Amino acid sequence: MTGREIDNLIKLLARLPGLGPRSARRAVLQMLKKPETLMMPLAQALEETARAMTNCSICGNVDVTDPCHICASHNRQRDMICVVEEVQDLWALERGSSFKGLYHVLGGTLSPLDGIGPEDLRIDQLVSRVKDTRASEVILATNLTVDGQTTAHYITERLLETGVKVTRLAHGVPVGGELDYLDDGTLTAALRARS
C-alpha cells in the first residue's frame, strides 16, 4: 500500500509489544519526518545492540559487555546477590536504585507443568557463585506467584550447604503481582524491610 520498503518497516514495528499496525504507521510517519534525528540514530542503536548484545557470564543480565556493567562496576556491594527471575525484574530493581549489590538472573521459575526443572535455570551457577565469591547475603526477589515462591524455596534449600544468609523481599509486594509492574517506592520499601 505504502511502498514495499515502508510497508516492511511498518510490519516489523507492528511486531513489537504495545504497537499494532496503526501505531506502527504513526511511528513510521513520525520517523519519516525526522530521518536524521530519530530514524538513523534508532537504526544504529538497534544494530549496535543486536550485534554486541550478550548474556553476562556471571549474572545472566543482558548487556553489550561481558561481564555486564553491573558486575563490572566498582561501586557495588559485591557480597550481596539479589536473585531475580528475568532481566526485566533486574531492570525494575535498578530503577528503584535502592539496591547496591549484584544480581543473579535465573531465566525463569521452576515449573513442573511446563517441564522446567532446576537444570533449566541458572541455579547451579548461583550455588557455585555464592561459594566462590563468599557472598554474605542472597536476597531472593522472585515474584510472589506460586512458581516464584516454589523456586525461592528450592533455592533456599540448595543454598543451605553454603551457609550464606538468605533473605526475601518483605511482604509489601502485592501477592500475585509482578516486580516489573511495581512502582519504585514499593520496591524500595520491600527491599528495606526484607526478612
Give contact residues for a second copy (rule: CB under 8 A).
1-6, 8-9, 12-13, 15-19, 23, 25-32, 35-36, 38-53, 62-65, 68-69, 87-88, 91, 94-95, 97
37: which 3 cell numbers? 534525528
Burial of 82 (0-12, 13-18, 19+ CB in 10 A): buried
CA separation for the pair 21, 39 (Å, rounded): 18
The nearest distance, CB 58 to a second copy, in angstroms, is 14
Min CB(44)–a second copy separation in Å: 7
User: What is the closest distance, in whole angstroms, from the C-beta atom of residue 163 to a second copy in the complex?
Assistant: 32
Task: Pick the closer one to a second copy by CB: 22 or 165.
Answer: 22
Q: Which of 56, 74, 58 is nearest to 66 (CA)?
A: 56
Looking at the Cβ atoms of 41 and 117, the one nearer to a second copy is: 41
Nearest CB to a second copy, comparing residues 103 and 173: 103
Minimum gap (Å) between residue 82 Cβ and a second copy: 14
Question: Among 117, 110, 113, 177, which Cα is nearest to 150's?
Answer: 110
Check if the beta carbon of residue 25 is closer than 8 Å to that of residue 12.
no
